[in-house]
């Protein structure tokens, strides 16, 4: 009997294939392409306390083996999301992981987490401290704008605030745009995260040679897709050497083979992002491919693959 079941903190999933934040809309967009109920979990688009319009158009462009995006966390705000989106999302009977972000201070993570903690349909909370299209001023005495995930003290504080406000599983989404991802992860672990998600997109640029302007209105944007997979794999492997906490791997996963690479590198689960745009049924194909691989290789559980890399 083959098992795809996994556990992320207190969250139990029937399989380890997750729809990543920002690439799966609010699920109904994929109704005509797949049986959404087969997914292991869904991570929602990132929510902030107040509505956010996002960045100016154009927001996306294709690149070799990938894409750039600078959506800017467009969302309806916390209360409207709870009232209008959670009811339709919950009908799929798939665990909902709500992605949240702060725009002003780490205290916003506590406010968001406390509100979501009261909602039974919420299975877990993802802390998006790593969106490359939104920068934070870290500390009142500095003019430097950074991602929270680029500063270990800011990461610790954000996770600590969220941890104090919820007993639901907390997943901290890390940025690859750092010198040492292990240092940041250790700060999050000290603060009480239950799980890691990595990696978010890489900061990138694509230029229109005729206008000599960026192809994306915001200038720099987040690079995703198969182009980033080798680096994402390396970071998952690095982190697996330093933590026993569950890891959700992502970055260029478009089929079962690329998903399997992440498990072998050290991931406990995988999240499909840009792959959803290439093949809307990508996640379901991956689930079937994982089952075939385990059967053919006489591996009883997907958990036995995690961190099995022989370098």
- Burial of 49-88, coded b for 16+ CB within 10 Å and e otherwise, reads beebebbeeebbeebeebbbbbbbbebbebeebbeebbee
Per annotation, catalytic residue among 61, 131, 195, 282: 131
* 282 flagged as catalytic: no
Distance CA 13, CA 8 (A): 8
- Looking up tokens 């978010």 gives 200
Provide the H-helix boundaries in 192-281: 229-240, 256-265, 275-278
SS3 assignment, position 252:
coil
- Distance of alpha carbon 35 from alpha carbon 164, whole angstroms: 36
3-state helix, strand, coil in the chain (%, to 5): 35, 20, 45
CA atoms within 13 A on the CB side of 11: 33
| Cross-strand partners of 115 | none
**CB count in 10 Å sphere of residue 244:** 8
Backbone dihedral angles phi then psi of residue 125, each to the nearest 5 degrees: -125, 130
- Residues that are catalytic: 131
């Amino acid at each position: 009997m083959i098992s795809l079941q996994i556990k992320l903190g207190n969250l139990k999933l029937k399989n380890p294939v997750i729809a990543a934040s920002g690439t799966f809309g609010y699920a109904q967009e994929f109704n005509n392409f797949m049986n959404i109920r087969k997914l292991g979990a869904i991570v929602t688009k990132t929510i902030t306390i107040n509505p956010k319009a996002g960045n100016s158009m154009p927001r996306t462009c294709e690149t070799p083996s990938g894409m750039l995006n600078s959506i800017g966390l467009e969302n309806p705000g916390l209360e409207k999301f709870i009232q209008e989106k959670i009811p339709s999302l919950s009908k799929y009977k798939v665990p909902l992981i709500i992605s949240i972000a702060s725009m002003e201070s780490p205290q916003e993570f506590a406010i968001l987490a406390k509100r979501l903690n009261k909602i039974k349909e919420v299975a877990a909370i993802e802390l998006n401290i790593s969106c490359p299209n939104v920068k934070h001023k870290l500390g009142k005495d500095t003019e430097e704008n950074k991602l929270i995930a680029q500063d270990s003290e800011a990461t610790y504080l954000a996770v600590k605030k969220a941890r104090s406000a919820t007993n639901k599983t907390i997943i901290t989404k890390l940025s690859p745009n750092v010198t040492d991802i292990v240092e940041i992860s250790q700060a999050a672990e000290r603060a009480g995260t239950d799980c890691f998600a990595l990696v978010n997109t890489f900061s990138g640029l694509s230029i229109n040679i005729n206008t000599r302007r960026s192809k994306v209105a915001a200038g720099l944007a987040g690079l995703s897709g198969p182009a980033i997979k080798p680096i994402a794999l390396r970071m998952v492997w690095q982190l697996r050497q330093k933590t026993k906490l569950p890891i959700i791997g992502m970055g260029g996963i478009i089929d079962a083979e690329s998903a399997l690479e992440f498990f072998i590198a050290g991931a406990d689960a995988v999240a499909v992002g840009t792959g959803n745009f290439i093949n809307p049924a990508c996640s379901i194909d991956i689930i079937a491919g994982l089952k075939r691989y385990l059967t053919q290789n006489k591996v009883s559980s997907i958990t036995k693959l995690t961190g099995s890399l022989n370098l």
